[in-house]
Chain A
Amino acid sequence: MTIESYLAELGARLPRIRRRRVLVEAREHLVDSAARHSAAGRSAQEAERAALEDFGDVDTVARRVRAEVAVHETRIASTLALAASALFVVPLYGVPENTLPPAPWMAKPVDIDVLQTIAASLWLTSLGFAAVVTASAWSRWPRLAAAALPSVSLGLVAAAVTSAALVVRWFGVAQVTFAWPLLAAPLALGCVGASAIAAAWAGRRRELLRD
């Protein structure tokens, strides 16, 4: 194997985030190392082979770089999930507050009140959990964060389902407006989708992480 073929194989196994930097550093390292072996009296081919041997096999180096990059990826994924949880306030509160006509009732129906409380509680729990998970990812427990991220998604899904039930119930007793669900549904789905993608991304890196 030559330095170039080693680098090609290594590059194919590295995550895109650090690939370029690792390859530049590895190339410079291998060139220096081969030069040292040449200076010690080895042929160019032998020097290159010895440099590659000293550097370590592709699998070991790639695995360790991937493990280090996985920490970054988990941090990004956790931050994305936190942002998605925070933005969920727009479809949950911002949109209905600005699109629904004034309430037609003197006293709010109990079931609507209950649904609103449940949806808000689920969202706040999910947001709080996302904040804890993100703090874990940015401190010493990225593996724990990767494991806990699906719970953030599940919390948002539960809040979204409860909100959908609330919409149905609301339109049973109040004037139907289409602006609310048409605006809120894509935003809510976007937030849920983003948190699910973040959870899946971090989940796939979990095995590479060490606490």
Chain B
Amino acid sequence: MEEPKGHVDLLLLAVLEDGEAHGYGLVESLRERSGGTFDLPEGTVYPALYRLERHGFAASRWRSVGGRRRRVYRLTSRGRSTLSQQRADWRAFATAVDAVVA
């Protein structure tokens, strides 16, 4: 199975797990959940979302919200299982690093 590239993709998959969201909503969630730590150039989130779509981890559609046309993204079942695997890998890695560094 294709793996997501880098931590940004993993973070986006994790945020998408909460439900359908547009790009700005995802950036806001990312900022809030990380306590402002993940303050990446917001425009680079979109190429990352296109990449997730290309790999079949996310799907998107146009939706009209308050008279505005928004592209909203959601996690696919493939994305969900990849997230689950990546999350387990990350926890194992973080535990190992913590054991050495702490």
Contacts and interface: CB of A to CB of B under 8 A. Distances in A.
B41 interface: yes
B44 A61 contact: yes
Interface residues of B, number: 20
Interface residues of A, number: 24
A60 interface: yes
A33 B50 contact: no
Interface in B22-37: 22-24, 27
A56 B42 contact: yes
A21 B47 contact: no
Question: What is the interface of chain A mostly: helix, strand, loop, or mixed?
Answer: helix
Nearest to B45: A29
A68 B50 contact: yes
Nearest to A57: B41
A103 B42 CA distance: 70
Interface in A4-50: 18, 21-22, 24-26, 28-29, 32-33
A60 B44 contact: yes
Contact of B42 (A18, A21, A24, A33): A33
Nearest to A32: B24
A65 interface: yes
B71 interface: yes
Contacts of A56: 41-44
B54 A71 contact: yes
Given A21-B71, A68-B51, A140-B2, A26 B41 contact: no
A33 B27 CA distance: 10
B42 A55 contact: yes
B80 interface: no
Contacts of A54: 39, 41-42
Contacts of B7: none
Contacts of B69: 24, 28
B93 interface: no
B47 A68 contact: yes
Interface string B32-75: 00000001011110110011001000000000000011110000
A18 B53 CA distance: 13
Contacts of A140: 2
A67 B46 CA distance: 12
A148 to B, nearest CB: 20
Given A55-B42, A56-B41, A28 B70 contact: yes
A28 B68 contact: yes
Contact of A67 (B41, B43, B47, B71): B47
Given A55-B42, A64-B44, A29 B24 contact: yes
9 contacts: A28-B23, A29-B24, A33-B24, A55-B41, A55-B42, A55-B43, A64-B47, A68-B47, A68-B50
Interface of A: 18, 21-22, 24-26, 28-29, 32-33, 54-57, 60-61, 64-65, 67-68, 71-72, 140, 210
